[in-house]
Amino acid sequence: MAKITFDGIEVEVEDGTTILQAARKIGGNVVPPAMCFYTPLKGSGGKCRVCLVKVSQGSAKDPRPMPKLVASCITPVQDGMVVENTTNEDVLNARKSIVEMLLINHPLDCPICDQAGECSLQDLSYEHGVSATRYEEERRSFNKVDLGPYIQLHMTRCILCYRCVYTADQITPERVHGVLGRGDAAEIGTYIENVVANDFSGNVIDVCPVGALTDKTWRFKNRVWFTKPLDAHRDCPTCSGKVTLWARGETVLRVTARKDQYNEVEEFICNTCRFDKKEVSDWTIEGPRHIERSSVISANHYELPVINVPIVPNLPVSTKKNLPQE
Amino acid sequence: MGLKILTEHINVPGIETLEVYRKHGGYKSVEKALKTMTPDEVVEEVKTSGLRGRGGAGFPTGMKWSFLAKPEGVPRYLVCNADESEPGTFKDRWFMEKNPHALVEGMITSSYALGAHTSYIYIRGELLFILRILEKAIAEAYAAGLLGKNILGSGYDLDLHVAPGGGAYICGEETALLESLEGKRGNPRNKPPFPAVKGLFASPTVVNNVETIASVPWIVNNTGAEYAKVGIGRSTGTKLISASGNINKPGVYEIELGVPVEEFIYSDEYCGGIWKGKQLKAVVPGGSSVPILPANLILKTATGEDRLMSYESLSDGGFVTGSMLGSGAFIVFDEDQCIVRNTWNYARFYHHESCGQCSPCREGTGWMEKVLHRIEYGHGHQQDIDLLVSVAKQIEGNTICPLGDAAAWPVAAAIRHFRDEFEWHIKHPQEATAPGAVYRGQLATIEA
């Protein structure tokens, strides 16, 4: 076991745990954001650099601080480590810089993007970004790539987190796509036109933090914050069958895996569940899905009576009373 | 003439053949090391020699070797980094082309010291003709029993392979090199684990530059203490310098570390002065990624001492008034060279060579290039200079590998020392974009 101090909070974790996982054990606002790291995927992380933190004391044995900011998602903890995240100005400035970098070539087409409302980049830029840009050049754009009947690749929105590459490597039996090219011309692609088609290929949509990979059976059907997330399951021969249905009225618009507060899937699901079972009668509904983190979805929460929903967090009590009663 | 450790016999006709190479004392170190020394003794010699990595970072080689993890039953590897791609650097290419056996000999002795039984020379893809030269040399060494099973009857086995890359600058970064050598996309790995613990094929690995490895035979033959006597202070030994730019005699020079920069530029033994007797404007002393220094700061340090060709002296004053020895690519600019254009050219290189794995480098290098392009072609705004400084700062230190730093340093340094020139480009776009136009105001300040 290793004891570390994260933003002044002490936490004890197993040896070999990463700083990010230790911070998640504490939870709340001190947790560094993560765009490329994905717990279920081995080898992911270290690429987007938004989780940079300052290690002001390396360990109890060697108390020297680490010279550079380190990526918390891949740096293992050491006993006696002292880490600064939200308490260190350098870290916050670095994070702001990274968000700026991620956004300079992002099309910012949120109004027509299916991921809007559950997009990690959107959340991140609200929290750490600046409203104006200093970038005046033309933004990078790519041609659309056809990946088959289910998955739409919109490369222009991609932040090259490599999650879909790791997913294809580790979850599906074959990988036909990868990263081509170099630098800011790097892109996800199949090189020779190819269909990403196997029983678990749909999971690349779930792991994508932005709107680069979207579900063709759901594209442009609705905005995510108008839909109701429901936990449901079915007896599936290939996967666990535990999913979240995104329904509007009696219509199931979309099926995804269940994601936790860090947008990480609990169990990967198969393509049959995801793309073919779009009737309420296909599923046993368990109840509403609790959505904790993702921005606007929780603003429309129906688990609680509307009166208690903190739409504006610091709303005075008197105004709250004037809200329409359900 | 200073002592020549690497280039003593380099101009002997036929030195690329085993026969001539042996006639001039070749492969003596292999015999000495394998027959009379233990591997640890070789490592000790290298440690005493104070030899430092010649690829750019200047990390003590002996220390690097002693960090190598030695778990039981796991193979260890020595990899020679011959992916020389830094703009301005051409010493390894020249050395391998002229004297391939010196590298092979170094590889055998160093592999023995590290207990590696398979070693690789990772060579840049553009240098395929040198790959053939090396393969020929290796075949000769195999035939003479210097490679393969039971080398010279000592019971030590070694296989040496040459592997070409695709010509990517990023594959000169040691972990990207290992990825590429494993047959994967050349993306740098996250560290830790370091290659000394988990490198090639997840085994402990040492990656060394060509020049570093080629220096080992001399150290074994003449002892590390002798080597430590050459050079100055902690910069021991000799270094190959790739001198280029506006000088009378561009080329590769072997210098004893500690030669004054002024002597190196102006003496006939080395660069032979500035081309056509023009005035010196600036020098990039260690390859495109190290900070550029204006003439006054390259000849003298900020404290007024003579600047020497050594690791310490060149970095005297930090990045404010100093630079780095780097890989020893000495690029000289005369009064007619435009620093803005040159900086843009470097930025273009890093933009093209960024692997695209981590966001600050992927996006930032392109951004800097575009802004510099704008300034160079007369479309810059006054705030662009501060924007460049800020973007460079945002990249520096936040990336997976040092390519981000290497891209940020030259831009930051050019603005630090030549801000006037950037401002002139922005304020007088028409003059600045006229053919052959160069800002000359800086020279007045240098002379003063």
For B263, counting Cβ atoms within 10 Å of its Cβ (0-12 exposed, 13-18 middle, 19+ buried), the class is middle
Backbone angles phi, psi at B259, to 5 degrees: -65, 135
DSSP B305: P
Mean pLDDT over each residue of chain B, to the nearest integer: 91
pLDDT attached to residue B93? 93
Nearest residue of chain B to residue A139 (CA atoms): B367
Q: Of the candidates B367, B398, B399, which has its C-beta nearest A104's C-beta?
A: B367
What chain A residue is nearest to B392 in terms of C-alpha separation?
A97
- Within 8 A of B57 by CB-CB distance, chain A residues are none
End-to-end CA distance of chain B: 34
The pLDDT value recorded for residue A301 is 53
Give burial (CB, 10 Å; 0-12/13-18/19+) of B447.
exposed
Q: Count the alpha carbons within 13 Å of B329 in the hemisphere toward its beta carbon.
A: 21
- For B89-121, the pLDDT digits (tens) are 999 999 999 999 999 999 999 999 999 999 999
The residue among A321 and B134 whose pLDDT is bigger is: B134
CATH number of A110-128+140-288: 3.30.70.20
- Kindly indicate the confidence band of residue B266, based on its pLDDT and cuts at 50, 70 and 90: very high
Percentage of residues of chain A with pLDDT beyond 90: 50
> pTM of the prediction?
0.91
Q: Residue ranges per domain, chain A? A: 2-100, 110-128+140-288
Which residues of chain B neighbour A46 with C-beta distances below 8 Å?
190, 358, 400
* pLDDT above 70 for B354: yes
B84/chain A closest Cα distance in angstroms:
19
Structure tokens at A97: 């810089």
Residues of chain B whose C-beta is under 8 A from some C-beta in A? 168, 170, 185, 190, 192, 351-360, 362-367, 370, 387, 394, 397-400
Interface contacts A/B by beta carbons within 8 Å: 92
From the list B356, B387, B397, the residue facing A69 with the nearest CB is B397
d(CA B441, CA B339): 12
- Give tens-digit pLDDT for B299-334: 988 888 899 999 999 988 888 888 999 999 999 999
Listing DSSP states for B246-277 in one string gives: SBSS-EEEEEETT-BHHHHHHSTTTT-SBGGG
Residues A264-276 have a mean pLDDT of 92
**Whether the predicted pLDDT of B291 surpasses 90:** yes
Over residues A112-117, the mean pLDDT reads 90
Q: State residue A162's pLDDT score.
A: 93
**CA dist., res. B290 & res. B283, Å (int):** 10
For residue A159, list chain B residues with Cβ-Cβ distance below 8 A: 359
| Any B CB within 8 A of A49 CB | yes
Q: What integer pLDDT is reported at residue B161 of this predicted model? A: 95
Q: What was the pLDDT predicted at B433?
A: 87
Lowest-confidence region among A115-129, B227-241, B403-417: A115-129
Residues 127-186 of A with CB under 8 A from B: 134-135, 137, 140, 159-160, 162, 178-179, 181-186
Give the integer Cα–Cα distance in Å for B350 and B353.
5
* Cross-chain Cβ contact A160/B351 below 8 Å: no
- As for the ipTM of the complex, it is 0.86
> Which residue from A217, A211, A203 is spatially nearest to A150, judged by alpha carbons?
A217
CB contact under 8 Å between B398 and A186, yes or no, is no
Distance in angstroms (rounded) separating the CA atoms of residues A256 and A269 = 8
Q: What is the pLDDT of residues A310-322, one digit of tens each?
A: 555 554 454 444 5
Q: What is the model's pLDDT at position B448?
A: 44
- For residues B448 and B446, what is the distance between their CA atoms, to the nearest angstrom? 6
Query: What percentage of chain B exceeds 70 in pLDDT?
Result: 98
CB contact under 8 A, A184 and B168: no
Report CB contact under 8 Å: B366, A183. yes
Name the 3-class secondary structure at B99: coil
CA A245 to chain centre: 18
- The region that residue B443 occupies, defined by phi over 0 for left and psi between -120 and 50 for alpha, beta otherwise, is alpha
Nearest chain B residue to A46 by CA distance is B190
Burial B116-151 (b: 16+ CB within 10 A, else e): bbbbbbbbbeebeebbebbeebbebbeeeebbeeeb
How many angstroms away from the CA of A206 is the closest CA of chain B?
21
* Predicted local distance difference test score (pLDDT) of residue B55: 87
Per-residue pLDDT at B194 exceeds 70:
yes
CA B41, CA B414: separation in Å to the nearest integer?
Answer: 45
Q: Inter-chain contact A48–B397, Cβ cutoff 8 Å?
A: no
Residue B29 is encoded by which pair of tokens?
């170190």
User: Which domains, from first to last, does chain B contain?
Assistant: 18-229 (3.40.50.11540), 234-334 (3.10.20.600), 339-447 (1.20.1440.230)
Q: Output the CA–CA distances (angstroms, integers) from residue B126 to B96, B122, B209, B252, B283, in the order listed.
A: 14, 12, 17, 19, 27
User: At B20, which amino acid appears?
Assistant: V
The 10s digit of each residue's pLDDT in B2-58 is 788 889 888 999 999 999 999 998 899 999 999 999 999 999 999 999 999 998 888
Assess whether pLDDT exceeds 60 at residue A307. no
Q: Using only C-alpha atoms, what is the Rg of chain B?
A: 22
Please report the pLDDT score of residue A324 as a whole number: 52
* One-letter identity of residue B9: H
Give the three-state DSSP class for B365. Answer: helix
**pLDDT tens-digit map of A158-179:** 999 999 999 999 988 888 899 9
pLDDT grade, residue A295 (50/70/90)? low
**Chain B residues with beta carbon closer than 8 angstroms to that of A102:** 359, 363
Q: Name every residue whose Cβ is closer than 8 Å to that of residue A272 and which is 6 or more positions away in sequence.
A: A199, A236, A238
Residue A326 has pLDDT above 70, yes or no: no
What's the whole-number mean pLDDT along residues A270-290?
89
Looking up tokens 């160069």 gives: B438
Could you tell me if B359 and B397 are in contact, meaning their C-beta atoms sit under 8 angstroms apart?
no
Class of domain A2-100 as given by CATH: alpha beta
The answer to whether the CB of B356 falls within 8 A of the CB of A159 is: no
3-class DSSP state for residue A236?
coil
Is the pLDDT reported for residue B420 higher than 50?
A: yes
Instruction: Categorize the per-residue pLDDT at B440 as very low, low, confident or very high, splitting at 50, 70 and 90.
Output: confident
Task: Report how far Cα B286 is from the mean position of its chain's Cα atoms.
Answer: 7
Q: Three-state DSSP class for B320?
A: helix
Subunit contact A52:B367, Cβ cutoff 8 A = no
Task: Please check whether residue B353 is in contact with residue B288, taking contact to mean a CB–CB distance below 8 angstroms.
Answer: no
B387 min Cα distance to partner chain A (Å): 8
pLDDT at B258 over 70: yes
Substitution target in B175, B357, B359 with the highest count of A β-carbons within 10 Å is: B359
- Helix, strand, coil share (%) of chain A residues, nearest 5: 25, 20, 55
How far is the C-alpha of B100 from the C-alpha of B202, rounded, in Å? Answer: 29
In the predicted structure, residue A198 carries a pLDDT above the cut 60: yes
Provide the total of helices (H) and of strands (E) in chain A, helices listed first: 8, 14
Phi-psi region of A77 (alpha: psi -120 to 50; beta: other; left: phi over 0): beta
